[in-house]
Amino acid sequence: MSNQEALKQYDVKKYRTPDGYTSDIAVFTIVSEKNADYKPSKMTLKLMLIKRAKQNNEKQVNIEADKWALPGGFVQDDETAFEAAGRELFEETGVSKIHLKHFGIYDKPGRDPRGWIISNAHYAIVSSQQLAKRRADDDAAEVALFSMDEVYNLNLAFDHRQIIKDAFAVIKQDLLLTTVAKNFLPEQFTYSELQSVLLTVTDDSAISSDASFARKIKSLPFIEVVEGEKTQRTSKIPTQLYRFVHTDADIIKPIYTARY
């Protein structure tokens, strides 16, 4: 039997299909706030959320209205879930041209009061400058950045609390298992500036201990001393500057606490 013959016999009505297919997007950034003189800036991990409008684009009462949520929406039949993520992110927040990654599928029965809705979850971690022109539009009444402590105290829509927890775990891996931290540092940085970025996602004593991390940074194969360069940005005493370098050396993960 050919495919054409098989398709003639196929009756889509015989099979229950989802009521909707969506994409949700967790966009994180690290915000730097000036601390006291001779101290590293305070670094805070923040998540961009939207407040769902009272009415949708069709002027109907919006489901989960006035709740904070991840940006996102329904996938159209001429696009992939990944393409929908980029489109919805731009439509609701004005943010575009950022590197999104897929990290999970959410299909637990009852997760959405509208019916059987399956969501693909995506994430990104970007500089705060890339979110500077964010603005609420489409189904979003507001858009704002929240620290993780603030996020977990919000009344969140759908199952977004679980999606956010999972996204945070992925972001933590990115920061501790790769060199993505360099995106939130000057080209030349002190050990305490790198430490401040990493402490936005972990309280590992190997990183939180000033003395331990100051020693550790000197042994990391992907970081080098900037010879003859020191700064008083983070200490009254001139402090050594470092920079990330490309290396082909085998790296044992997690990269900042492994033995080399």
Residue 27 CA from chain centroid, whole number: 4
Q: Is residue 28 domain-shared with residue 156, that is, in the same domain?
A: yes
Rounded to whole angstroms, how far apart are CA atoms 68 and 83? 23
Rounded to whole angstroms, how far apart are CA atoms 25 and 239? 39
Q: Is residue 166 domain-shared with residue 238, that is, in the same domain?
A: no
pTM over 0.75: yes
Residue 229 lies in a domain: yes
User: Strand 20-33 relative to strand 72-74: parallel, antiparallel, unpaired?
Assistant: antiparallel
Q: Is residue 29 domain-shared with residue 153, that is, in the same domain?
A: yes
Contact 86, 183 (CB under 8 A): no
Q: Is residue 157 domain-shared with residue 227, that is, in the same domain?
A: no
Q: What is the pLDDT of residue 38?
A: 67
Q: Is residue 202 domain-shared with residue 76, that is, in the same domain?
A: no
Residue 60 CA from chain centroid, whole number: 31
- In three-state form (DSSP H/G/I as H, E/B as E, the rest C), the secondary structure along 17-29 is CCCEEEEEEEEEE
Q: Is residue 104 domain-shared with residue 132, that is, in the same domain?
A: yes
Q: Is residue 162 domain-shared with residue 194, that is, in the same domain?
A: no
Residue 120 lies in a domain: yes
Q: Is residue 135 domain-shared with residue 206, that is, in the same domain?
A: no
pLDDT exceeding 70 applies to what percent of the chain? 95
Domain around 186: 180-244
Residue 23, strand partner residues: 73, 120
Q: Is residue 77 domain-shared with residue 40, that is, in the same domain?
A: yes
Q: Is residue 91 domain-shared with residue 191, that is, in the same domain?
A: no
Q: What is the pLDDT of residue 260?
A: 54
Q: Is residue 239 domain-shared with residue 206, that is, in the same domain?
A: yes
Residue 10 lies in a domain: no
Domain boundary among 177, 212, 233: 177
* Domains held by the chain: number: 2
User: Strand 20-33 relative to strand 117-126: parallel, antiparallel, unpaired?
Assistant: parallel
pLDDT at 259 over 70: no
Domain boundary among 177, 193, 218: 177
pLDDT digits (tens, 9 = 90+) for 119-148: 999 999 999 999 999 999 998 999 999 999
pLDDT digits (tens, 9 = 90+) for 189-210: 999 999 999 999 999 988 999 9
Residue 187 lies in a domain: yes
Q: Is residue 137 domain-shared with residue 226, that is, in the same domain?
A: no
Four-residue CA torsion sign, 50, 56, 62, 65: positive
* CA neighbours closer than 13 Å in the CB half-sphere of residue 64: 19
Contact 124, 98 (CB under 8 A): yes
Q: Give per-residue burial for 217-247: e unless 16+ CB within 10 Å, then b.
A: beebebbeeeeeeebebbeeeebbbbebeee
Which of 99, 96, 101 minimizes the C-alpha distance to 133? 96
pLDDT at 85 over 80: yes
